[in-house]
Amino acid sequence: MDHAAFILGSWIGTGIAVIAYAVWVLRRGRALSKHASTEEKPWT
Amino acid sequence: MTPNSGTGTSATRRLGVLVIVLAIALALFGLRFSAEDVVQGSTVRIMYVHVPSIWTAYIAFILTAICSGVYLSRRQRSLAWDRVAGASAEIGVLFVAVSLVTGSLWGRLTWGTYWVWDARLTSTAFLFITYVGYLAVRRLDGTHRQRARRSSVMALLAILEIPLVHFSVNLWRSLHQDASVADPNAKVKLDGLMLFSLFLGLVTFTLLFVWLVLHRQRTMLLEDSFADRGLDVAIAERRNEAGAQ
């Protein structure tokens, strides 16, 4: 594949950005829900 | 369900698994199975993440505007609308950033430069800055309702940029290519697998967006609850202090 560094860089960069954000959201949600009552978590 | 499942439910877990499977399929089709473009060569493979990124950002900002409009129009203003708007805008900013970076890498290979002050690129950068501003407005001091009112008004103004960005290639002379897939009269015809890979990218990123919004707006609900709780404690302490004097 020509220009593999640019192409893979685009894909890997996208993956890292999305995964990093998703992990941050999940960890923050998990940390907050530890101290939340059931009423504060209507989805449960 | 486990005692602390965070912001997840069985539905979001199933959706998450589906997104992972689709992302793997997208990588296989986008990087391996689909053919190289006659003109662009292998650089067309960047399009399978670049186009879905800006597509997702458009969806995110449109959802932000819809939720903001609903929040302002209802007599019983539910902060749930504001939280979905905020979550959606935050994710939209992420995807605009991804779109700008991947587009810049594609531009380096195709145009020989990472950046040009072209109408599409400049308007997209302006869109990014506008929504970073929207997120900053959400962090200003005030009650949740003040935050919701301010940011809803801003979202309804900011959405006007979307048609400007999208039609900038038609309104001004632009290096960026015109619509090629969505336009039935376009001269560009995509190979079957290339079209499939692009479509798969749009579906995957859209479902990923839904998954992220579900989790993020729940996190925002918890943040609001904790902020209210902190405020209640502070008021109770002030009352105790006043009673003691």
**B99 vs B184: which has the higher pLDDT:** B99
Q: Which residues of B touch A28 (CB under 8 A)?
A: 219
Hey, which residues 14-33 in chain B have their CB within 8 Å of chain A?
Answer: 27, 30-31
Closest chain A residue to the Cα of B90, Cα to Cα: A21
Q: With contact defined as beta carbons under 8 Å apart, do B165 and B123 qualify?
A: yes
Q: Over pLDDT 70: what percentage of chain B?
A: 92
Query: What beta strand segments (E) does chain B contain?
Result: none
The amino acid sitting at B99 is S
Measured CA to CA, the distance from residue B130 to residue B125 in angstroms comes to 9
Domain of residue B89, residue span: 10-176+184-244
Query: Does B148 fall in a domain?
Result: yes
The amino acid sitting at A2 is D
Q: Which residues of B touch A10 (CB under 8 A)?
A: 46, 49-50, 101-102, 105-106
Asked if A14 lies within 8 A of B221 by C-beta distance, the reply is no
pLDDT mean over A19-44: 92
pLDDT of residue B230: 79
Query: Does B152 fall in a domain?
Result: yes
Instruction: For residue range B121-145, list pLDDT tens digits in order.
Output: 999 999 999 999 999 999 999 999 9
Query: Does B132 fall in a domain?
Result: yes
Q: How many domains does chain B have?
A: 1
Q: What is the CATH number of the domain that holds B87?
A: 1.20.120
Give the pLDDT band of residue B245 (cuts 50, 70, 90): low
- Point out the residue among B102, B208, B226 whose CB comes nearest to the CB of A10: B102
pLDDT of residue B192: 86
Query: Does B1 fall in a domain?
Result: no
CB of A41 within 8 Å of any CB in chain B?
yes
- Point out the residue among A1, A4, A40 whose CB comes nearest to the CB of B222: A40
pLDDT of residue B60: 98
Instruction: For residue range B21-44, list pLDDT tens digits in order.
Output: 999 999 999 999 988 888 788 899
Asked if A33 lies within 8 A of B212 by C-beta distance, the reply is no
- Point out the residue among A7, A21, A44 whose CB comes nearest to the CB of B46: A7
Asked if B5 lies within 8 A of A44 by C-beta distance, the reply is yes
3-state secondary structure B151-181: HHHHHHHHCCHHHHHHCHHHHCCCCCCCCCC
Query: Does B118 fall in a domain?
Result: yes
Query: Does B28 fall in a domain?
Result: yes
Asked if A25 lies within 8 A of B94 by C-beta distance, the reply is no
Query: Does B210 fall in a domain?
Result: yes
pLDDT mean over B177-191: 66
Query: Does B3 fall in a domain?
Result: no
Q: With contact defined as beta carbons under 8 Å apart, do B1 and B209 qualify?
A: no
Query: Is ipTM over 0.90?
Result: yes
